[in-house]
C-alpha cells in the first residue's frame, strides 16, 4: 500500500511561493474601506481575529501556561499588523505566559518550504525559539506529522492558530488531529484559536471518505467539504475518534465585534462572502490560494488532482482558474461541453463563465515550462442580497469540476490524462464516486445525488459539534 506520506508528496497542495508573494503584496496594500490611519474602522461582523491586540481577555485561558504554538503565516491579528507569534512573544515578555517552542506544519512556520518537502527541526533566527517540524521524514512512518514527547518537554499547553479552508484534503486538518492525539498521549492541554473558514463553514458536499483510504489528506470519515471550523472538527475528532481530551481541549471562538463577546451565530453566506471579499481581511492559507475566489474554485477543482497530466494552474499567477495541457484542444473541448453537457452547463455554470482558448506556461508542478492550452474559469457577479443565489453558488463548484472532468474523459482516455487510481482513492476516498466518474453513462447529477445519504448522516453527527449555530 502506498504510504500516506508518499501520497501527500504527490498532492502538491502549495506551490510557487514567488508568484504568491507578488500577489500578497497587492492584497496587503489594497485600499480598504474599513481602514483609516492604519486602524480598522467600523469592523464588520465576525472578526476572525480572536487575538486582536489589546483584547487580551480572549487569551486569558493561555495565561500561566508554557506554550507550544502551532502556526503558519495565516496566524495573524485582525488588522494583519501582528502575527500570533509576535503577540504571544509579547505576552511572554510580560510574564503572563511562556512561549517555549513553535511547531511547523507542512510548508513551515513562515510558509517558505516547498510543497511535499519534508524538513527537520531548527532554531528560529527571529525568535530564537526551537521550531519543531510536523512534516519530518526523519521520524518513523507513524510519527511523520505529530508532536513527539521530546518536543513537548516542559510544555503544558499546545495552541493552534492556522486558517483552514473547510476541505478534507487540506492537510492542516490532519495536522490538528495528530496534534490533538499527541496532547492526549502526553498529558498536555490543547487550545484552538478558532477561525471561520473561507468556504463559510456552512456548506457540506462531496463524497464521504471510506476509512480504508485514510491518509494525511483524509484523516477521518468526512465529506470533501466539511462545513466545520478547526474548533468544531477538533470537538468531533475528540469524541468520534475516541481521543477523549475532555476539558483539556479548549476552543476560543471567533468574536462578534459589535458586542465584544464570543460569537455563537453561524454567519450567512452573504456575511462570509462580503467579509472575506475585503482584500485586507483575506490571508492566503497557501500560495496557490491568493484570494477568496481561488478558494471557492479549489473546492471543486481539487478533484483534478486525480489526473497527473492536466494542469490546474499551479505554478502560474492563476491557480485553480485555468485548466489545460499541451495536448488539449480547447475548442473541441468547449464544443463537446455545449453539445453533450448542455444540461450541466445550465444547471451548474450560472455563476462561472468559460473563457477559451487560454494559454499558459506553468513554472512549477505539472507541465513545467511547457505551453498548455485550455480554458479559464471566470466568476460572474453575484447578488449578495439573494441567499438562494449564494447557496446555489457555493454548491456549484464540485458539479462544475465533475462536468469538466467527465467531458475531458470523453475527449481523451484516462491513460492520456494519467488518471491515478491509487491517488484518487486517497483524494476522493470513495470507490463508488470514482467508478461513477469513470463511467461515461453516468451523469453529473447522478453522482451528486449519490452523495446525499452519506451527507445527511454526516450532518446529523456534525450538528452535535457545531459551535456557531
The yes-or-no verdict on residue 369 having pLDDT over 80 is: yes
Say yes or no: 89 and 199 in one domain: yes
Tell me if 254 sits within 8 A of 275, measured CB to CB.
no
Q: List, in sequence order, every residue forming a beta bridge with 354; answer none if it has no partner.
A: 377
Tell me if 298 sits within 8 A of 167, measured CB to CB.
yes
What's this model's pTM, rounded to 2 decimal places? Answer: 0.85
pLDDT of the residue at 250 = 95
Residues 181-192 have pLDDT tens digits of 999 999 999 999
Say yes or no: 117 and 202 in one domain: yes
**E strand or H helix at 414:** helix 414-417
Q: At 366, phi and psi to the nearest 5?
A: -65, 135
Say yes or no: 57 and 102 in one domain: yes
Confidence of residue 116 (pLDDT cuts 50, 70, 90): confident
Give the end of a domain, one of 233, 255, 281. Answer: 281
* Sheet (strand 352-360) strand order: 322-325, 372-379, 352-360
Residue 28 lies in a domain: no
Say yes or no: 188 and 328 in one domain: no
User: Cα separations (Å) of 73 from 55, 105, 156?
Assistant: 21, 11, 24
Say yes or no: 297 and 254 in one domain: no
Say yes or no: 335 and 375 in one domain: yes
pLDDT of the residue at 3 = 36
pLDDT of the residue at 255 = 66
Say yes or no: 262 and 298 in one domain: no
Instruction: Compute the mean pLDDT over every residue in the chain, rounded to the nearest whole number.
Output: 84
pLDDT of the residue at 50 = 40
Say yes or no: 308 and 270 in one domain: no
Q: What is the mean pLDDT of residues 204-227?
A: 96
Say yes or no: 300 and 261 in one domain: no
Tell me if 171 sits within 8 A of 105, measured CB to CB.
yes
Helical H runs in 127-190?
172-185
Say yes or no: 261 and 117 in one domain: yes
Q: If you ran DSSP here, which 8-state letter would residue 45 be given?
A: S
Helices (H) and strands (E) in the chain, counts: 16, 16
Say yes or no: 252 and 300 in one domain: no
Say yes or no: 309 and 230 in one domain: no
Judged on CB neighbours under 10 Å (0-12, 13-18, 19+), 463 is exposed
Print the domain residue range for 315. Answer: 292-463
Residue 13 lies in a domain: no
Give the alpha-carbon dihedral of 356, 338, 288, 364, to 10 degrees: -60
Q: Could you report how far apart the first and last alpha carbons of the chain are, in Å?
A: 41
CATH code of residue 259: 3.40.50.12170
Confidence of residue 240 (pLDDT cuts 50, 70, 90): very high
Q: Which residue has the cell 483609516?
A: 36
pLDDT of the residue at 278 = 58
Residue 335 lies in a domain: yes
The yes-or-no verdict on residue 228 having pLDDT over 70 is: yes
Residue 338 lies in a domain: yes
Residue 34 lies in a domain: no
Minimum mean pLDDT range among 3-7, 243-247, 293-297: 3-7
Total domain count, the chain: 2
Amino acid at each position: 500500500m502506498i504510504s500516506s506520506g508518499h501520497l501527500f508528496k504527490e498532492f502538491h497542495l502549495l506551490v510557487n511561493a514567488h508568484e504568491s508573494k507578488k500577489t500578497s503584496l497587492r492584497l496587503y496594500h489594497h485600499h480598504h474601506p474599513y481602514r483609516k490611519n492604519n486602524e480598522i474602522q467600523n469592523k464588520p461582523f465576525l472578526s476572525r481575529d480572536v487575538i486582536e491586540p489589546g483584547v487580551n481577555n480572549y487569551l486569558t485561558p493561555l495565561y500561566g501556561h508554557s506554550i507550544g504554538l502551532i502556526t503558519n503565516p495565516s496566524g495573524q491579528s485582525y488588522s494583519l499588523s501582528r502575527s500570533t507569534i509576535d503577540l504571544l512573544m509579547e505576552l511572554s515578555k510580560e510574564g503572563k505566559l511562556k512561549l517555549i517552542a513553535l511547531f511547523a506544519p507542512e510548508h513551515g512556520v513562515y510558509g517558505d518550504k516547498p510543497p511535499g518537502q519534508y524538513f527537520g527541526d531548527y532554531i528560529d533566527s527571529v525568535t530564537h525559539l526551537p521550531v519543531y517540524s510536523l512534516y519530518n521524514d526523519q521520524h518513523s512512518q507513524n510519527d511523520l506529522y505529530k508532536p513527539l514527547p521530546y518536543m513537548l518537554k516542559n510544555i503544558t499547553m499546545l495552541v493552534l492558530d492556522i486558517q483552514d479552508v473547510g476541505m478534507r484534503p487540506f492537510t492542516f486538518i490532519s495536522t490538528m488531529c495528530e496534534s490533538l492525539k499527541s496532547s492526549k498521549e502526553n498529558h498536555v492541554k490543547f487550545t484552538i484559536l478558532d477561525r471561520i473558514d473561507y468556504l463559510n463553514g456552512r456548506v457540506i458536499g462531496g463524497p464521504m471518505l471510506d476509512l480504508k483510504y485514510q491518509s494525511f489528506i483524509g484523516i477521518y470519515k468526512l465529506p470533501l467539504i466539511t462545513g466545520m471550523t478547526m474548533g468544531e472538527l477538533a470537538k468531533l475528532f475528540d469524541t468520534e475518534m475516541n481521543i477523549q481530551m475532555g476539558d483539556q481541549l479548549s476552543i476560543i471562538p471567533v468574536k462578534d465585534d459589535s458586542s465584544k463577546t464570543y460569537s455563537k451565530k453561524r454567519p450567512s453566506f452573504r456575511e462570509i462572502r462580503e467579509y472575506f471579499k475585503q482584500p485586507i481581511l483575506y490571508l492566503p492559507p497557501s500560495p496557490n490560494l491568493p484570494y477568496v475566489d481561488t478558494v471557492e474554485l479549489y473546492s471543486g477543482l481539487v478533484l483534478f488532482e486525480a489526473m497527473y497530466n492536466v494542469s490546474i494552474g499551479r505554478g502560474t499567477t492563476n491557480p485553480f482558474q485555468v485548466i489545460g495541457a499541451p495536448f488539449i484542444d480547447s475548442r473541441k473541448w468547449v464544443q463537446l461541453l455545449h453539445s453533450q453537457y448542455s444540461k450541466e452547463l445550465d444547471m451548474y455554470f450560472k455563476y462561472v463563465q468559460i473563457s477559451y482558448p487560454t494559454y499558459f506556461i506553468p513554472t512549477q508542478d505539472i507541465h513545467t515550462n511547457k505551453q498548455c492550452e485550455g480554458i479559464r474559469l471566470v466568476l460572474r457577479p453575484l447578488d449578495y442580497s439573494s441567499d438562494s443565489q449564494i447557496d446555489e453558488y457555493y454548491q456549484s463548484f464540485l458539479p462544475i469540476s465533475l462536468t469538466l472532468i467527465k467531458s475531458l474523459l470523453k475527449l481523451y482516455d484516462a491513460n492520456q490524462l494519467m488518471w491515478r487510481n491509487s491517488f484518487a482513492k486517497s483524494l476522493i476516498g470513495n470507490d463508488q464516486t470514482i467508478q461513477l466518474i469513470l463511467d461515461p453513462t453516468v451523469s453529473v447529477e447522478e453522482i451528486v445525488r449519490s452523495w446525499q445519504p452519506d451527507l445527511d448522516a454526516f450532518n446529523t453527527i456534525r450538528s452535535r459539534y457545531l459551535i456557531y449555530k
